[in-house]
Amino acid sequence: METPLRNLATEAVHAGREDLAARGLHAAPLDLSTTYPSADSRAEAARLDEFAATGALPAGPPVYGRLGNETVDRFETALARLEGTESAVAFASGMAALTATLLVRASQGLKHIVAVRPLYGCSDHLLTAGLLGTEVTWTDPAGIADAIRPDTGLVMVETPANPTLAEVDLRAVAYSCGEVPLLVDNTFATPVLQRPATLGARAVLHSATKYLGGHGDVLGGVVACDEEFARQLRQIRFATGGILHPLAGYLLLRGLSTLPVRVKAQSATAAELVRRLKADPRITKVHYPKVGGAMVAFEVDGDPHEVIAGVELITPAVSLGSVDTLIQHPGSISHRVIGADGRRSGGISDRLLRMSVGLEDVEDLWADLDAALSAAVRAPAEAVR
Ligand SMILES: *Cc1c(COP(=O)(O)O)cnc(C)c1O
């Protein structure tokens, strides 16, 4: 039976760990087994048949490490609880999670995807290049209903979107999708700020590498969804092998414990930096979503490469969602792969910088940013690319 939903901060530290105290444990055990011994191969055959037929996790030990893992299960249970879904299925990375989602639909003959730009650069690339045999139609939110065809398997949006922090109205988009499943990349908002499944999304994608892990030391991905879709994802995961390593599952479960406090503290600092950036004549545009959060994007009057070169406390690196502040130039790194035309159609300026605000003191961050911005404004601004 479903445990009634407790508040998010409580779930963050308890979900997926309910059995521990009765087992005499406090921290979740880390199971590194690749295989699970059984003297009863008739029973193992039955368990494998059941998984092949249904995609439901077999009761008891998982037969083989690619089928399941109890440490990873705990992370999946906890994330599903935070997102308000029945289930969640974890993968080796956010891109492995997206790949599996696309393959679930493509394997049913539904190879057409409708998507809204901007998306994370590699997600855009995976769809545009059709590497998995899918075909994409890019549209704006208002065009979704018209873009849907009989072979449309998925509508995909990201909100706030990487890297411009553009937002889409999820309720309205979910309505436009009709019967077609809506996949929402919720990496930036996290369930602390937004729970897309409660607004009509069928599946919620995370690069767990970012806020869920939160410390820049684990790669992972996860899809939170209903159990029917989760079963299909598990079958694809078993067949294609993009599993989450148990140690990563352990670190992600631990990361979830502090997700609400991290996101709230980092968001408060981000909001203060946004206030200062908006008042700063060296900045031509500040992007910050209504939903809030710890991601800030801004366009500089000078050369954005000089800001990257000028920061000392802030880490000049791609990725986001860590306890320390990171800054990167999307045109050079996160959205390089989609090319100048893709960036233009996603509204990604060459002068845009994307900053993921960490847990440092706001005055120290501002002092660093302020010095880097001054260096950038002094540099000649021609030929930015
Ligand atoms: C990083 C990212 C991804 C890809 O996740 P990986 O874990 O790097 O594979 C997908 N979506 C968004 C919004 C991201 O920021």
- For 287-329, how does the pLDDT look when each residue is reduced to its tens digit (9 = 90+)? 999 999 999 999 998 899 999 999 999 999 999 999 999 999 9
CA of 378 to the centre of ligand 1 (A): 34
Question: What's the confidence (pLDDT) of residue 382?
Answer: 56
CA–CA dist 140, 137 (Å, integer): 10
Measured CA distances, 181 to 158, 202, 370 (Å): 14, 5, 44
Question: What's the confidence (pLDDT) of residue 1?
Answer: 39
CA of 99 to the centre of ligand 1 (A): 12
Say which CATH superfamily domain 260-378 falls into: Aspartate Aminotransferase, domain 1 (3.90.1150.10)
Strands 326-328, 152-158: pairing kind: unpaired
CA-wise closest residue to 253 among 375, 73, 57, 40: 73
Measured CA distances, 88 to 231, 271, 332, 339 (Å): 10, 31, 33, 33
Determine the residue of 207, 334, 335, 356 to mutate for testing ligand 1's pocket, defined as the one with the most ligand atoms within 8 A of the Cβ atom: 207
Question: What's the confidence (pLDDT) of residue 211?
Answer: 98
Query: 121, exposed or middle or buried, with CB in 10 Å at 0-12, 13-18, 19+?
Result: buried
Answer yes or no: 64 catalytic. Answer: no
Token pair in block for residue 161: 């979107």
Question: What's the confidence (pLDDT) of residue 59?
Answer: 86
User: Strand, coil or helix: what is 327?
Assistant: strand
CA–CA dist 285, 297 (Å, integer): 8
139 forms beta bridges with 116
Residues lower than pLDDT 70 in the chain: 1-5, 379-385
Question: What's the confidence (pLDDT) of residue 308?
Answer: 96
* Amino acid letter, 194: Q
Provide the b/e sequence for 371-381 (b: ≥16 CB within 10 Å).
ebbeebbeeee
285 phi/psi in degrees, rounded to 5: -160, 135
Q: Where are the alpha helices (DSSP H) in the chain?
A: 8-14, 41-54, 70-83, 94-106, 121-129, 144-147, 170-177, 190-193, 227-240, 246-278, 304-310, 339-345, 362-378
Ligand 1 site residues (CB inside 6 A) read 93-95, 120, 122-123, 158, 162, 185, 187, 207, 209-210, 219, 221
CA–CA dist 102, 258 (Å, integer): 31
Of 17, 36, 66, 285, which is the active-site residue?
66
CA–CA dist 359, 73 (Å, integer): 29
Determine the residue of 158, 187, 322 to mutate for testing ligand 1's pocket, defined as the one with the most ligand atoms within 8 A of the Cβ atom: 187
CA–CA dist 125, 328 (Å, integer): 19
Residue 139, CB-side half-sphere exposure with 13 Å CA sphere: 18
CA of 186 to the centre of ligand 1 (A): 10
Question: What's the confidence (pLDDT) of residue 377?
Answer: 80
